[in-house]
Structure 1
Amino acid sequence: MSGKLYIVGTPIGNLDDMSIRGLKILKEVDLIAAEDTRHSIKLLNHFEISKKMIAYHQHNEQKSSENLIELLKQEKNIALISDAGMPLISDPGSVLVKNCVENGIPIEVVPGPNAGLCGLVLSGLDTRAFLFLGFLGKENKAIKEGLKRIEAADVTTILYESPHRLPKTLEALEKFGLGHRQMSISREITKRYEETLYGTIAQHNQYYKEHPPRGEYVLCIEGKTKEEAQTISDLEIAGLSMADHLEHYLKEGLAEKDAMKQVAKDRGISKRDVYNTVKR
């Protein structure tokens, strides 16, 4: 016999979104593993829950998981919560769940709010399928890999972003050639100043150059557009002259400026090189 791990979703802003079942579990378990105990104590105090907590975050995840597994083996029931939303979704918890699976320890999920899904249903974009990337990351390599996945996706992409990094992310998206894609940006979801803005990536980039970001953000980016889907393969490019390559996109209905931009992107050269070649 062992205890059970409960993965409990918590509000992302509005405390009224805490589920009745979630409160029941938090009151009944022996221990709560919280991403930040200083943050979670506010939630517990609000609902008058007095329960022992331990810190479980990205910096101690491996060691803390080992300790929690031992307690679960001693038939202790444990609730795992993050600062907001569903644990494991861009938050710690995967190591603990993996260890529970390997040790045959039962796991139960108590659903709760999720910022990404809330942003998606507010986006006005296709919701039938989506790509969730969470935070793009801070390193240039991770950012570039994320941009490539967004470019290639034919479904809506969901990103998280902090206010101090939002301008850099928007700039990177536009410079990567995605400025024409539609995007929604939601902030402070379920909170007093909740807001969702709509437009192209280029329009959002310009807006946030003039308006300092405030709050936590969810970005939803439309999938590959019809024009992007009309790109041609590397094999086809190899057999085309620059002029024929450009003509391909002109016949597809792209304006000359956009056609040149796409040819340059296909070939990994500058738009000026395309212009100089076809206009000689």
Structure 2
Amino acid sequence: MSGILFIVSTPIGHLDDITRRAVDVLAAVDWIAAEDTRHSQRMLDQLGIRNRMISCHDHNESQRSDELVSRLLGGEQGALISDAGTPLISDPGYRLVRACQEAGVSVVPIPGASALLAALAAAGQPSDRFLFEGFVPAKGATRQQAIARLAGLSVTSIIYEAPHRVLSFLETLKSLVEKDREITLCRELTKQFETIRRGPVAEICDWVASDSNQRRGELVLVLSPQVHSSAWTEKDEALAKTLLAELPVSRVAKILAAHTGLKRQELYVLLEEMG
């Protein structure tokens, strides 16, 4: 029989957040694949686990997957972990999971900590629907376009951002959103200097600008949905559906902007959601 690949969630900060099942699995497997073996070994040392470590990261995952699948087909048990939290969430791993599935190897998730869900739970923002953006591009036009797209969404958005870029992100966002649009900054979740603060984008931007401590550590931003103007009516929606059957979204947004007085960017996002 082939072995099993366990996808094991590890703490995002506080070591006590690891589950008993995760500890048992990590102690029992033949090897543990990790993005940064030196970083992960420190956590495993604290847990008293000394199993073999194998590196598996963005630059070697494709080649490493063949080796690991071969080991699993030979009956070994393996675990995949990330530097922190749940593997594959803005981290490597999906290629290995696909290779295992295609080879008939069982893949078993061991749920646990996730910065994404921890931030959403503590943000005080609507959580019935949300978009996980992950990291936006680091620079250039694609970064500006990504932030503009987030500004126009009618669902809660969750963004990971590097500490040295968080202020520029907030400054750009401030120029695009209405003054009462809220964002929650979650920093160093579960760690000693955990910070969670919700407020208007402009207020949070000014706070981060004035306090350099808020530009350190691991950051998650939770942006509230855009509330579409009440000028949008059921008749407008019916017209939009009719136009979308014949015209591209960009053209329909332009027509409806002239018809309703709403911003073209706002309409573009609304129309994409309809489509």
Q: Is the 8 A contact 1:133 1:146 kept in 2?
A: no
Change (3 A) 1:237 1:188: closer
What is the SS of the residue equivalent to 2:168? Answer: helix
Residue 218 of structure 2: aligned partner: 216
Q: CA deviation at 1:6?
A: 0.2
Change (3 A) 1:26 1:182: same
Q: CA deviation at 1:228?
A: 8.4
Provide the rounded CA distance (Å) in 2 between the counterparts of 1:175 and 1:228: 22
Q: Is the 8 A contact 2:2 2:74 kept in 1?
A: yes
**Are 1:234 and 2:254 an aligned pair?**
yes
| Greater Cα radius of gyration, structure 1 or 2 | 1
Query: 82-91 or 156-165: which moved more?
Result: 156-165
Letter in structure 1 aligned against 2:27 = K
Letter in structure 1 aligned against 2:67 = N
Letter in structure 1 aligned against 2:104 = G
Provide the rounded CA distance (Å) in 1 between the counterparts of 2:191 and 2:168: 25
Residue 11 of structure 1: aligned partner: 11
Provide the rounded CA distance (Å) in 1 between the counterparts of 2:210 and 2:149: 28
Provide the rounded CA distance (Å) in 2 between the counterparts of 1:182 and 1:59: 37
Change (3 A) 1:2 1:199: same
Q: Scaled by the length of structure 2, what TM-score is found? A: 0.83
**Are 1:202 and 2:218 an aligned pair?**
no
Provide the rounded CA distance (Å) in 1 between the counterparts of 2:12 and 2:157: 20
What is the SS of the residue equivalent to 2:176? Answer: helix
Q: CA deviation at 1:49?
A: 0.8
Provide the rounded CA distance (Å) in 2 between the counterparts of 1:99 and 1:58: 15
Q: Is the 8 A contact 2:65 2:96 kept in 1?
A: yes
Percent identity reads: 38
Q: CA deviation at 1:137?
A: 2.2
Give deviations 1:16-60, integer Å, cap 9, x for gaps: 011100000001000000111111111111011111001111121
Residue 225 of structure 1: aligned partner: 227
Q: CA deviation at 1:61?
A: 1.4
User: Structure 1: 5+ residue runs without aligned partners?
Assistant: 250-261, 268-280
Provide the rounded CA distance (Å) in 2 between the counterparts of 1:185 and 1:94: 28
What is the SS of the residue equivalent to 1:43? Answer: helix
Change (3 A) 1:145 1:228: farther
Number of residue pairs aligned between Structure 1 and Structure 2:
247
**Are 1:93 and 2:93 an aligned pair?**
yes
Change (3 A) 1:18 1:228: farther
Q: CA deviation at 1:192?
A: 1.2
Letter in structure 1 aligned against 2:57 = H
Q: What's the Cα RMSD here?
A: 2.2
